[in-house]
Structure formats: structure tokens, C-alpha cells
């Protein structure tokens, strides 16, 4: 019976995690497409031929196993060309879209802007290729080659501006999104003078408040989304939950407070959050504090248990497991701690090890398992 249960679990896991068909894997490992003929499902079999062709870089396998002029052979040539970097193989795909996708993949994979320039009839693909190469090589001159998709061009210059902390590149960005470029560079550099370049008053104040961490800068703004967003940025930078409570828009206020408590570790800071978020907020605060006693502020025992477990799994302290309000889960907590300690390569000097069965645990917890685990126990002095 035990082996039947384990077999069922194995089959279920294979289905859930999408493990590759062993025959497909064997064909790829051996580079032999003939083994694909043993794959039962037609869809998987067709994919197998292509995967072997790609893994071996053999475009002739596309010829051997797919019908000429079919969508499958086009995809095969395109995928093999992308893998090998062969433009000639890309050209064998009859579908022009597939050809150009293949060119774009080669351009990105090799950081070769000349290949991006060969893309024809697919302007958005060409532009994204130039943008990706520009960002990868950190060369803004290739952003200049983006001439159709202006949002891609803006994003290219903005990404490099922030990456290099160089606000001069923001001047290449269009007027609308340019302010956000200056904002991000100012935030990255921590330089409030860059905020002066922002034209929109609300965005400019938000920039100042975030860089300085001073929410009082936002008080001159009219009530509304700009003011709320400004307060949120400064409060999360260096303010308090009290500052967050000045935000009128509920979702922004909640987001601000929940960000604050992850630093403060104080559940009482959650008082201004929306009712349906209050328990989650207090749990986040307690977990951030690393103090299991703070989990007791949660109204539901199940939440107290989850809270205490999260702290125990982070601290790996046995006494934190003992604080779990549901006694039958203490053993499970200690077992998980042992697993994590082993994964992290920590020596268990504080407690020894004893091999026990899940059956032993089930006698205490009422839950039934199969297998063996390692349970920590205090060393005897």
C-alpha cells in the first residue's frame, strides 16, 4: 500500500510540475531525433524533433522531420538559427515574421546592432532589438536608432539615464515622460537639485520629498492624488505611519502604512489601515520585528500560528517554535527548522538529531504521513 501511495504522489507531482517526457529528454541528450518516434502524443513528438534540432544546432533535422512549407518547419529553422546565430538558417524560414524574430534573437544574444538593422517590415521588433542591445552594451547611441516606437526610445534613454545616474540623457526623452526620468535619476543619486528640472509641480514636490524624506514639502500641494503620492514617497523614505495617515486615498494610505511597518516592526502602526488589511498588516509588523510575542495581537489563532512559524523559520531558534499556540504544530516547526539548517549548511551544535517517522508525529498531531524526517532535540548535558 505504501508503494502505491508513493507512486500516486510521484505521478501527481510529474503532472503538476510539467516534467519533460523521458523519451524527449533522452532524444535531446543523445542528439538522436529517431528516438522522438517513440513519444506517444503527436504534439509532444513534433516538438521533440524541433528540440533535438535546436539542442544539436542541426538545421538538417528540420528538413528530415517536417513538411516543406509548413509552420512547423518555419519555427524549427527560426529556433535553430536563433541558437546557432546563423542568419542563413533564419532565412530558410518561409514565414517572414519568423525570419525577423530569428534576426532579433541573434541581435540580442550577440549584442550586435548590425543584425538589428537587418530587420525589415517589423519596425517594433527592430526598435526593441536596438533598445535591448543599447541597454546591454550601455551605449545610448543605439537608442538613437529607435525611430518608430517612441515609447521604446524613451524607455531606452530613461533606463540608461538611471543606470549611469546621468540626467543629461533625460533630455533625449519626450516632454511627458521626461519628468519621470529626472525623478528616477534624482532618487537614485539622492540629489535634490535634479528635481528642479521637473516641470510638473506635483511630480517636482514628490521628487523633493522622496529625496529629502521630508513630507512637509507636500503640504503646499492641493489635496488629491498628487499630494497623496508625494506624502507616500517621503514617508516610505524616512517618515512614519503618522505621516501615512495624512494620505486621503485609501489604497495609497494602506500601501504606505504596510511599507512602514515592515521597517518599524510595530503592529500599533497598523491602526490607520483599512479594516480588511488590518490583520495582514499586523502580521507583517510582527514578522518584521522577529518577536513571536507580537503575534498575539492577531485576532485569529490560525493567523497567530502562521505568524509565529514565519518568525521561527527565519530565526531558526527552537524557542520560537515553542511559542506556536497550536501545540501539535510545534514538532512540524522544529522539523522544518532542521531542514532549513541543513540546506544552509549550519552545524547543529545547539541540538542533536534523531531520526523519527511521520507516524510517530501523527500519534501526537492526529495527522498521517509516510516517510522519515530529522527532528531536532536539545542535547543532553
Choose among 340, 345, 349: nearest CA to 373: 340
Q: Would residue 280 count as lying in a domain?
A: yes
Choose among 288, 318, 287, 317: nearest CA to 305: 287
DSSP for 82-97, please give it.
Answer: HHHT-HHHHHT-SSHH
Q: Cell triple for residue 246?
A: 495624512
Q: With contact defined as beta carbons under 8 Å apart, do 228 and 243 qualify? A: no
Grade residue 194 by pLDDT with cuts at 50, 70 and 90: very high
Choose among 346, 362, 365, 293: nearest CA to 376: 346
Lowest mean pLDDT, pick from 70-74, 83-87, 105-109, 360-364: 360-364
Q: Bridge-partner residues for 377, per DSSP?
A: 352
SS3 call for 353: strand
Grade residue 88 by pLDDT with cuts at 50, 70 and 90: very high
From 249, 267, 289, give the residue that closes a domain: 289
Apex 84 CA angle, 83 and 88, nearest 5: 115
Cell 517612441: give the residue: 150
pTM of the complete model: 0.66
Average confidence (pLDDT) over 52-77: 95
Alpha-carbon gap, residue 178 to 245, rounded angstroms: 30
Task: State the pLDDT at residue 19.
Answer: 60
Q: Would residue 65 count as lying in a domain?
A: yes
Domain with 229, as residue range(s), is: 215-289
Q: With contact defined as beta carbons under 8 Å apart, do 324 and 330 qualify? A: yes
Q: Cell triple for residue 125?
A: 521588433
Apex 293 CA angle, 288 and 296, nearest 5: 100
Q: Would residue 61 count as lying in a domain?
A: yes
Q: Burial letters for 266-293: b for 16+ Cβ neighbours within 10 Å, e otherwise?
A: bbebbebbeeebbbebbbbbbbbbebbe
Give the tens place of pLDDT for each residue, 11-50: 343 444 456 788 899 999 999 999 999 998 999 999 999 9
Neighbouring C-alpha atoms within 13 Å toward the C-beta of 104: 20
Give yes or no for residue 76 having a pLDDT over 90. yes
From 110, 137, 154, give the residue that closes a domain: 110
From 274, 289, 304, give the residue that closes a domain: 289
Q: Would residue 179 count as lying in a domain?
A: no
End-to-end, the C-alpha distance of the chain in Å comes to 42
Give the tens place of pLDDT for each residue, 117-174: 999 999 999 999 999 999 999 999 999 999 999 999 999 999 999 999 999 999 999 9
- DSSP letter (8 states) at residue 323: T
Give yes or no for residue 330 having a pLDDT over 90. no
Q: With contact defined as beta carbons under 8 Å apart, do 111 and 137 qualify? A: yes
Q: Cell triple for residue 333?
A: 516547526
Alpha-carbon gap, residue 183 to 6, rounded angstroms: 56
Q: Would residue 72 count as lying in a domain?
A: yes
What's the domain count of the chain?
2
Q: Would residue 172 count as lying in a domain?
A: no
CA dihedral of 334, 340, 341, 343, whole degrees rounded to 10: 150
- Report the length, in residues, of the chain: 381
Alpha-carbon gap, residue 56 to 90, rounded angstroms: 16
Q: Would residue 309 count as lying in a domain?
A: no
Lowest mean pLDDT, pick from 190-199, 274-283, 290-299, 325-334: 325-334
Amino acid at each position: 500500500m505504501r508503494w502505491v501511495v508513493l507512486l500516486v504522489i510521484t505521478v501527481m507531482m510529474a503532472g503538476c510540475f510539467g516534467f519533460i517526457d523521458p523519451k524527449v529528454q533522452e532524444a535531446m541528450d543523445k542528439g538522436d531525433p529517431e528516438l522522438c518516434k517513440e513519444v506517444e502524443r503527436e504534439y509532444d513528438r513534433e516538438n521533440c524533433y524541433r528540440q533535438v534540432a535546436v539542442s544539436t544546432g542541426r538545421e538538417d533535422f528540420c528538413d528530415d522531420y517536417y513538411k516543406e512549407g509548413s509552420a512547423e518547419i518555419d519555427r524549427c529553422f527560426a529556433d535553430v538559427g536563433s541558437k546557432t546565430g546563423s542568419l542563413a538558417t533564419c532565412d530558410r524560414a518561409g514565414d517572414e515574421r519568423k525570419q525577423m524574430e530569428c534576426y532579433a534573437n541573434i541581435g540580442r544574444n550577440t549584442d550586435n546592432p548590425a543584425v538589428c538593422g537587418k530587420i525589415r517590415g517589423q519596425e517594433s521588433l527592430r526598435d526593441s532589438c536596438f533598445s535591448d542591445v543599447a541597454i546591454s552594451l550601455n551605449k545610448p547611441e543605439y537608442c538613437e536608432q529607435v525611430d518608430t516606437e517612441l515609447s521604446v526610445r524613451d524607455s531606452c534613454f530613461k533606463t540608461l539615464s538611471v543606470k549611469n545616474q546621468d540626467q543629461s540623457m533625460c533630455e533625449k526623452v519626450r516632454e511627458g515622460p521626461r519628468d519621470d526620468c529626472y525623478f528616477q535619476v534624482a532618487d537614485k543619486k539622492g540629489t535634490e537639485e535634479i528635481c528642479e528640472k521637473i516641470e510638473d509641480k506635483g511630480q517636482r514636490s514628490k521628487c523633493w520629498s522622496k529625496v529629502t524624506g521630508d513630507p512637509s514639502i507636500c503640504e503646499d500641494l492641493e489635496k488629491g492624488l498628487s499630494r497623496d503620492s508625494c506624502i507616500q514617497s517621503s514617508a516610505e523614505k524616512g517618515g512614519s505611519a503618522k505621516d501615512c495617515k495624512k494620505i486621503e486615498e485609501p489604497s495609497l494610505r494602506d500601501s504606505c502604512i504596510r511599507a512602514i511597518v515592515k521597517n518599524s516592526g510595530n503592529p500599533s502602526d497598523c491602526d490607520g489601515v483599512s479594516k480588511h488589511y488590518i490583520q495582514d498588516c499586523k502580521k507583517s509588523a510582527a514578522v518584521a520585528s522577529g518577536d513571536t510575542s507580537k503575534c498575539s495581537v492577531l485576532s485569529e489563532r490560525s493567523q497567530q500560528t502562521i505568524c509565529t512559524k514565519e518568525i521561527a523559520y527565519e530565526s531558526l531558534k527552537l524557542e520560537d517554535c515553542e511559542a506556536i499556540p497550536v501545540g501539535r504544530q510545534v514538532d512540524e516547526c522544529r522539523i522544518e527548522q532542521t531542514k532549513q539548517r541543513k540546506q544552509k549548511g549550519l552545524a547543529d551544535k545547539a541540538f542533536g538529531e534523531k531520526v523519527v517517522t511521520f507516524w510517530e508525529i501523527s500519534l501526537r498531531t492526529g495527522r498521517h504521513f509516510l516517510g522519515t524526517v530529522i527532528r531536532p532535540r536539545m542535547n543532553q548535558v
